[in-house]
Amino acid sequence: MSAPLPQGPRPAPPSPASTSLTFAWRAVLKFKHVPEQLFDLVMTPIMFTLLFTFIFGGALAGSSTAYLQWFIPGILVQTTVFNTVYSGMGLSTDLSKGLFDRFRSLPIWSLAPFAGLMVGDMLRHTIAGAIILGIGLALGYRPEAGLPGILASFALLLAIGFGWGWIFIVLGLVVRTPMTVMTLGFAVLFPVTFASNIMVDPATMPGWLQAFVAVNPVSLMTTALRALMAGTAGWGEIGRALLAPAILTALLAPLVLWLYRRR
């Protein structure tokens, strides 16, 4: 081994933006080295899309094509919400491996590793959403609002992913193993996504359940996404969809910072 110490002077400390960019680069590298994670992300939603469209679609909406118009915005919300679990799992893995100890012993902006996680998440949501939308389009889904509707929908999906992501970052910080994060995540997300208007019109549900579905944040997000895709969205719908992500961010971001510093 030759002399490992650097000869030149130390560089100036990096800005928070540059630091976050580096963590984002790491997220991109993860996609390059672990492409199979994409499979995990889109397998279930693809299966759901095919099952619901062809098996239940006719019974629920008269025809598969008609059902697609209803279902695709919903499954996009579901995909995004479910995929937030993975950032919590990734975080839990990093913590158990001691990688975060390395980050925490560096003189960098202390939220940068989380900002990096978020950037990775945004990337994940965009890719998974694009794949699901692509399949929908191939099956005959036609958003009335066209490309602008799709772009607006994806912007909303990213906001939803950002807000919900905090839940699993908190779990990732508190729970010891990545598998537990996943199990806990699915235990919460399955009821919340099924008891919503993603798959079926809640009109046939019992009254007490309808009351829940009406205020379920997942329903509010799905309604807004449908309206964006159809080109009929008003600020009220968008505002209601963003309510849960905004509240989650306001409550959980400080909690994440506190948990992270306390460790």
Partner 1 sequence: MEMEPAIRARGLRRAFGDLRAVDGIDLDVPRGTIFAILGPNGAGKTTLLRILATLTRADAGEARVMGHDLAHEPDKVRAAIAMTGQFASLDEDLTGRENLVMLARLWGFGWRAARQRAAELLAAFDLSDAARKQVKDYSGGMRRRLDIAASLIVTPGVLFLDEPTTGLDPSARAGVWRLIRGLAAEGVTILLTTQYLEEADQLASRIAVIDHGRKIAEGTSRELKAQTGSGVLHVTPLDPGNRAIALGILGETAQADPEGARLSVPVADDTEAAAHLARLAEAGIRLAEFSLGAPSLDEVFFALTGKEAA
Binding site for partner 1 (CB under 8 A): 1-6, 10-14, 18-19, 22, 25-26, 29-30, 33-34, 94, 97-99, 101-108, 262-263
Among 26, 150, 170, 194, residue whose Cα is nearest residue 84:
170
Shortest Cβ 90–partner 1 spacing (Å): 10
Output phi, psi for 198, to 5 deg: -65, -50
Shortest Cβ 251–partner 1 spacing (Å): 24
Q: Which is nearer to partner 1, 1 or 59 (CB)?
A: 1
Shortest Cβ 120–partner 1 spacing (Å): 12
Shortest Cβ 24–partner 1 spacing (Å): 11
Number of H helices, E strands in the chain: 11, 0
Q: In the numeric block, which tokens belong to residue 102? A: 């390395």
Q: Which is nearer to partner 1, 121 or 237 (CB)?
A: 121
- Please state, as a whole number, how many other Cβ atoms lie within 10 Å of the Cβ of residue 247: 12
Q: Do 132 and 76 contact (CB within 8 A), yes or no? A: yes
Q: Which is nearer to partner 1, 63 or 96 (CB)?
A: 96
Shortest Cβ 23–partner 1 spacing (Å): 8
Residues 6+ apart with CB under 8 A from 63: 57
Q: In the numeric block, which tokens belong to residue 257? A: 């910072």
Q: Which is nearer to partner 1, 105 or 204 (CB)?
A: 105
Shortest Cβ 261–partner 1 spacing (Å): 8
Q: Do 252 and 166 contact (CB within 8 A), yes or no? A: yes
Output phi, psi for 120, to 5 deg: -60, -40
Q: Which is nearer to partner 1, 24 or 242 (CB)?
A: 24
Q: Which is nearer to partner 1, 91 or 159 (CB)?
A: 91
Q: Do 82 and 44 contact (CB within 8 A), yes or no? A: yes
Residues 6+ apart with CB under 8 A from 110: 104, 257, 260, 261
